[in-house]
């Protein structure tokens, strides 16, 4: 109960009901953050909220939106358009963003009841999933028409030039870390708090970087003014870059 954010008690002018998301199925919309949110060592100022119970963190929107780069309190085939009581709301107070899916129903199984849950992103990198109303066990939700996931995932995108075809580029998505939460534990009046592990990317100068004791084998690159672990990771897909949550 302490981790649930009661949006109804917040300043009404700061709580926004997204009209499009509240009345459509399989839609997503960009939302700007008023603060830098650290996610797997990089900072986000923009996210994409989806009707399907998750937040997409990637920069390029593509058809595999549900596969990687997500923050999912409860990803499923939700359809806010089937009920007038369903809304997708969000609230930003300058240090935290709360996204709440209110009284949403599954598009392919309306009779299971309505779900109310939220995801809170805090400026220190913590992520909180809160569940107010979960009418059935999450394990009973069908994944036939939409993936069902609870957790986090991050990836990076590499753009390849195709020499044989000018002006054509191929994007390859590399997922390097995923957090999968146990679905049977997602019940009404439950919550999950995820705390980010320290990462070498939090340092912006040489001294604190090389003296930090956080378990990374990294070094400072004066030319790039960044840590070499990120460059090595992109080239070699070395999982030492970020430790995750």
**pLDDT surpassing 70 at residue 240:** no
Does residue 141 sit in helix, strand or coil? coil
Q: Per-residue pLDDT tens for 83-102?
A: 999 999 999 999 999 999 99
Beta-sheet strand order (sheet of 70-75): 28-39, 42-50, 54-56, 70-75, 149-161, 169-180
Q: What is the mean pLDDT of the chain?
A: 86
pLDDT in tens, 106-121: 999 999 999 999 999 9
Structure tokens belonging to residue 40: 């797997």
Backbone dihedral region for residue 93 (phi beyond 0: left; psi -120 to 50: alpha; all else: beta): alpha
In this predicted model, what pLDDT tens digit does every residue of 194-209 receive, in sequence order? 999 877 667 777 777 7
Cβ–Cβ under 8 Å, residues 105 and 51? no
Q: Taking Cα atoms as reference points, which of 88, 80, 84 lies closest to residue 105?
A: 80
Burial class of 6 by CB neighbour count within 10 A (0 to 12, 13 to 18, 19+): exposed
Read off the pLDDT of each residue in 65-70 and give the average, rounded to a whole number.
Answer: 84
What is the pTM assigned to this prediction? Answer: 0.84
The full 3-state SS of 145-196, as one line of letters, equals: CCCCEEEEEEEEEEEEECCCCCCCEEEEEEEEEEEECCHHHCCCCEEEEECC
Q: Is the pLDDT of residue 179 over 80?
A: yes
How far is Cα 18 from Cα 187, in angstroms, rounded to an integer? 26
For residue 160, what pLDDT is reported?
75
Q: Which pLDDT value is given to residue 233?
A: 39
pLDDT of residue 86: 97
Q: Does the structure show a pLDDT above 80 at 2?
A: yes
């Amino acid at each position: 109960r302490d981790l649930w954010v009661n949006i109804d008690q917040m300043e009404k002018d700061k709580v926004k009901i997204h009209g499009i998301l509240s009345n459509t199925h399989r839609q997503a919309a960009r939302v700007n953050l008023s603060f830098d949110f650290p996610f797997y060592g990089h900072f986000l100022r923009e996210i994409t909220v989806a009707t399907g119970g998750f937040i997409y963190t990637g920069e390029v929107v593509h058809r595999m939106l549900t596969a990687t780069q997500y923050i999912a309190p409860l990803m499923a085939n939700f359809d806010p358009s089937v009920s007038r009581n369903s809304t997708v709301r969000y609230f930003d107070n300058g240090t935290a963003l709360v996204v709440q899916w209110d009284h949403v129903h599954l598009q392919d199984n309306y009779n299971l009841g309505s779900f109310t849950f939220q995801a809170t992103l805090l400026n220190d990198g913590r992520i909180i999933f809160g569940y107010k109303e979960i009418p059935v066990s999450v394990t009973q939700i069908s994944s036939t028409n939409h993936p069902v996931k609870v957790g986090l995932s991050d990836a990076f995108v590499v753009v390849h030039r195709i020499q044989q075809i000018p002006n054509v580029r191929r994007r390859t998505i590399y997922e390097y870390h995923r957090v999968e939460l146990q679905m049977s534990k997602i019940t009404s009046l439950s919550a999950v708090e995820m705390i980010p592990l320290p990462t070498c990317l939090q340092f912006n100068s040489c001294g604190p970087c090389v003296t930090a004791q956080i378990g990374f084998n990294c070094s400072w690159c004066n030319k790039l003014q960044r840590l070499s672990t990120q460059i090595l990771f992109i080239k070699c897909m070395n999982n030492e870059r970020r430790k995750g949550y």
